[in-house]
Amino acid sequence: MAYAVGYGSPKMFSKTFAARYGVNPRDVDNGFAIGARRESGDTVLSWIAEL
């Protein structure tokens, strides 16, 4: 996943994801889907570009 969205390492993706969403990506499971807010692909891509 990290490489697919332009990160050079999974560690950096995890760190940035946790800072953005307040949870480590490895801790996300189907239980988070209920309360998760949906972001469009454009929103996610613009957030990644801003990093």
**Tell me, what's the pLDDT at 37?**
62
- The predicted model scores a pTM of 0.54
Please tell me the predicted confidence (pLDDT) of residue 51.
65
DSSP state of 27: G
- pLDDT at residue 6 tops 80: yes
Exposed / middle / buried, residue 13 (Cβ in 10 Å: 0-12, 13-18, 19+): buried
Whole-number Cα distances in Å, 35 to 14, 29, 38 = 20, 11, 9
